[in-house]
Each structure stands twice: as structure tokens, then as C-alpha cells.
Amino acid sequence: MPTSNTTTVHLHTAFKIDEVDPRIFGGFLEHLGRAVYEGVYEPGSVHADDMGCRTDVLEALKRLRFTAMRYPGGNFVSGYHWQDAVGPKEKRPVNRDLAWQSLETNEFGPDEFVTLSERMDWTPMLAVNLGTGTPEEARNWLEYCNIESGSRWANLRIEHGYQKPHNVRLWCLGNEMDGPWQIGHVPAQQYAINAQQTARMMKMCDPNIELVVCGSCAPELPTYLEWDRQILEHCRDDIEYLSLHRYVGNPEGDTPDYLAVTNSIDRQIEATDAVCRAVHHTKKTRKRVHLSFDEWNVWYRARSGEHVDGRGKFAPPLLEEVYNLEDALVAAGFLNSFIRHADSVKIANLAQIVNVIAPILTKGDQMLIQSIFYPIEMYSKRRTGTALQLQVEGPGYVSKQYGEVKTIDASAILNGDELSVFLVNRDVSKPMDVTIKLGNATVTGLVNAEVVYGTDPQAANSYENPNAIVSRAHSDIQICSGSATIQLPPLSVYAGTLKIQR
């Protein structure tokens, strides 16, 4: 039997969940606060490149290897008209954005975003406006992006200097339409009809696209899951993915409880997937709808008052969360949950990528890497392969809000003869020896591993002390009789790749 500071993770290479879709390592860039302006785009910066983008920010973002990049919102998109943000910059109007009470100059628009995506190797994931926009406006944007030439909107793109179509495959049908705060929020039935009409017009224009319909954006809403059922019953044959969102936090300052939040993320995924499966079976749907977890992060400190009100300014500092060590562990917990649900979650987007609830902050020409950056980097470089089922045998505790959890939260990805394991030690004071045991294979060596850890859950990086929380190479591992035992410090996130032999 395991003692209090030992855990065994049991695996078998035949017990597979599914291929890990690289798009679960997606990001999200919204016209909000200083995400676009002073974030990725700042022509006046010493770091600006030929298109006005900040090379320091882009270099840091490259390390995170984002795949699907959602744009331009968020709440912002529900009042956005794409035509305002294309063509000659001097002719683009300055608009008042009602979602964040800010000024939008449209200096950076969808064409610039697609160009940036190509440079960054991102898969553009565009959200259309189903708040104040129409199905036709959405379909026109698709024509502008994807149709070769010979018709009004395609020709306009060419006129704007983009001869080749952008070929955007992934589109979101609005944003958080179940949220009462959303511009154009309507009851489920009304959104379902609008989303279906939009989907059908868009697919008539380009049948090769994939569509994400808005599911429930928060488990706290009274319509949670019932909204999803109604939407799916109506639109299931017209869309590929159902969205879900989640922001978490630790307002009570209770670290063990906060670190157990992954339980409820697992439950949210499983419950939403259960609705997809139920509709699939009861309505004899042709295809299975998968999940797009297209906003996730820690967000609770900068979530009200001045943090969400732009007061009519251009690029105001909004939602600028400062992330600490415990937030890094929770970010890793989200990723563990996505990997454990690789059969249902096919897309997930960290919200967001710079300045706004982000792993990177800028201040003038300076840039700061926040704690949550490191687990994302550590996981992302090991993301290729098949997620394996795992059984965690070891100590745990009963958390206040989320029930019983194991002290170690884990996930694993198998890629040929390499097994990557991802571990979070939730214990605030005790180290843990974690043994990785394969039923049908032996561990023969360590390829490489990194860890993020610290003693103070609230410790955070700052411009004065930028390296308080960083990742470090980890080699505290014993390989003995075909198993590996990894020594994990308290409050840590570990990602390691092991060589195995079958």
C-alpha cells in the first residue's frame, strides 16, 4: 500500500483514450484592453516588425506553440462588423465597442490577423457576430476569406491586396450567446434558429468549413446543459463542435480547495459530452459532435469595476491578471483534464495570449513572462501522440467545494516508444514520490523533464523579480525494475518524457 508521500500511476499502452488533437493547445486573441494594441501589435515599439507586430511578444508566443487561434472575440465580436476592419487603414472607422466600453480603431483587422497566423503557424479560428450581425454578414465574410475570385466579396479581398484566399476552415457561430451580458443575448431557441441559418448559408458558400456552435459558457448559469440540449437538438447536423468556457479562481485564498478545481472541470466536460452523446443517440444524428473548450483560464482578480470598463479609451488596461504559482498548477490541471478527455475535447483555447488574462504582459518596451506560461510550454512540446488512461493510486483529500481528489493530478501521452507524463503535486508542504508503472512495458530511461515549483502558492513574477516562478530541468528520477520513480517537490507541475520498451 502506498504511504502518505508515495503515489503510483498505473498505465498500459493498449489502454488508449484517443489521439491528442493538437488544437487543444489553442489560444485566443480578442480586441479587448491591451491584447491587440500594445500586445501583439504596436507599430511604435522598438520591437515592431515590418507589419507593426511586437517581435518580443511573438518570440515568446512561439515558445507556446499555439495551434487554433480564436479571433476577434469574445464579447467584443457581438458588436463587430468585419467590413469596418479591412481595406486601407486610413479609411477604417473608429468605433465605440460596447462590450468593453472602449474605442476600437480597427487598425488591426482580420486580414492582418490571418497574415500573423501564417507567420506564427496558427490555425485561424474566426468568430462571426451573431449579436448584432446577420447570417448574411457572416457568409459574406466567409466569401471574402475563402472564395478564389469572381464575386463581390472575394474580389474585395483581392482589391485589398490578398490575391490568395485565406482559407479559414474553423469558424465560431457567435460568442457566449447564453450569457445575459452578451450583446444580442436571446433564448436558446432563438439562437438555435439563427445559428442554424448562419451555418447553412456559410456551408453553402464553402462546404469545407468546420463550425462551432455556442454551448453553455458557465456551469453557474441557470440554463447550463439545458441550453446545450436545445441547441444540439436543433443544429446538430449543421455544426461540428459545441463550445464550453470556464474561468476559475481562488477568492477565498484556500489553496488546497482551489487546486481541486480540476474535478469540476472534468465534470463539466463529461456532462457537456453526455448531452452531445444523448442527442446523438436520441435523434439518430449522423455524426458525433465534439467539444471546443474555446475559453479557459484563471480569472477572478481583475474581473469587475475598472478592470472591465474601458471608459471610452483606446487600449485601456483591462483584465490584467497577475498570475502566481497556484495559478500555474491550475493551468496544468486544465491541460491534464483536456488530455484525459482527448476523445471528446478536440479544441481548447487559452483565454487569452497577451496582457488580457494572459501568460505574457507588456509594459512599454518591456515584457514579462507570467507563471502560467511555463506549464503550457512544458506540455505543448510533448503534445504529440495518444492520450492513455491512467489509474492514480495514492493519498488524497476532501476539498471544500470540489469533493475528493488525489494529491497527484495526472495525464499521459504515448508517442511511439516515448511516454510523456504530466503531474501536479497539490500538496502545499510535502514532496511526493510518484512511480510510473506500465502494465505491459518497462521504462528504460529519461529523455527530458521540467518542473515548476515553489514554497509560496501566491508567489508571482514581476518586472523587478521576473524569475520567481520559472520552469527548471528536472532529473530527480530513479529507474528501477522497469518503473520510474519521480521525486516531486510540494506545489509543483512536472512534465517529463520517458523512453519505454514493450
Task: Report the alpha-carbon distance of residue 398 to residue 381 in Å, rounded.
Answer: 33
* Residue (64 or 351) nearer to ligand AHR, CB: 351
Q: Which stretch binds ligand AHR (CB under 6 A): 71-79, 86-94, 335-343, 470-478?
A: 71-79
Residue 75 interacting with ligand AHR (CB under 6 A)? yes
- Say whether residue 74 binds ligand AHR (CB under 6 A): yes
**Grid coordinates given for 243:** 463550445
CA distance 81 to 237: 27
CB of 309 to ligand AHR, least distance (A): 14
All three cell numbers of 38, joined, read: 500594445
**CA distance to 8, 207, 362, per residue, from 2 (Å):** 8, 55, 46
Catalytic residues: 176, 295
Residue among 7, 11, 30, 61 that touches ligand AHR (CB under 6 A): 30
Choose the binding region for ligand AHR from 51-59, 72-80, 90-98, 268-276 (rule: CB under 6 A): 72-80
73 binds ligand AHR (CB under 6 A): yes
Q: What is the layout of strands, in order, in the sheet containing 95-97? A: 95-97, 102-104, 313-314
Q: How far is the CB of 57 from ligand AHR (least distance, A)?
A: 18
**Residue facing ligand AHR at closest CB distance:** 74
Among 175, 250, 268, 380, binds ligand AHR (CB under 6 A): 175
**295/427 with CB nearer ligand AHR:** 295
Residue (75 or 355) nearer to ligand AHR, CB:
75
Segment contacting ligand AHR (CB under 6 A): 70-78, 120-128, 250-258, 432-440?
70-78
Task: Annotate 359-379 with b (16+ C-beta within 10 A) or e (fewer).
Answer: bbbbeeeebbbbbbbbbbbbb
Query: Within 323-352, which residues bind ligand AHR (CB under 6 A)?
Result: 351-352
Q: How far apart are CA 462 and CA 80, in angstroms?
A: 34
Q: What are the E-state strand segments in 145-219?
A: 170-173, 210-213
Give the list of residues 6+ apart from residue 127 with CB closer than 8 angstroms, or none.
70, 71, 72, 73, 74, 77, 171, 172, 174, 175
Q: How many CB atoms lie within 10 A of CB 435?
A: 19
The continuous run of DSSP H or E covering 496 comes out as strand 492-501
Shortest separation between residue 76's beta carbon and ligand AHR, angstroms: 6
**Beta-carbon neighbour count of residue 96 at 10 Å?**
11
Please identify which residue in the block is written with the cell numbers 492520450.
387
CB under 6 A: which stretch of 69-77, 102-110, 225-233, 409-417 binds ligand AHR? 69-77
The residue from 112, 295, 321, 427 that contacts ligand AHR (CB under 6 A) is: 295
- Choice between 78 and 250, CB closer to ligand AHR: 78
DSSP state of 94: P
Residue 321 or 427: the one with the smaller Cβ distance to ligand AHR is 321
As measured in angstroms, the least distance from the Cβ of 215 to ligand AHR is: 13
Pick from 143, 176, 377, 427 the residue near ligand AHR by CB under 6 A.
176
Q: Does 197 sit near ligand AHR (CB under 6 A)? A: no
Whose Cβ is closer to ligand AHR: residue 298's or residue 449's? 298
Only one of the segments 68-76, 119-127, 331-339, 375-383 lies at the binding site for ligand AHR (rule: CB under 6 A); that segment is 68-76
Q: For residue 424, list its beta bridge partners.
A: 409, 493
Neighbouring CB atoms inside 10 A of 184's CB total: 17
* Amino acid type, 463: Y
Pattern 111-150, ligand AHR, x by CB under 6 A: ----------------------------------------
Give the shortest CB-138-to-ligand AHR separation in angstroms: 17
* Residue 417 to residue 408: CA distance in whole angstroms: 24
What residues line the site for ligand AHR (CB under 6 A)? 30, 73-75, 175-176, 295, 351-352
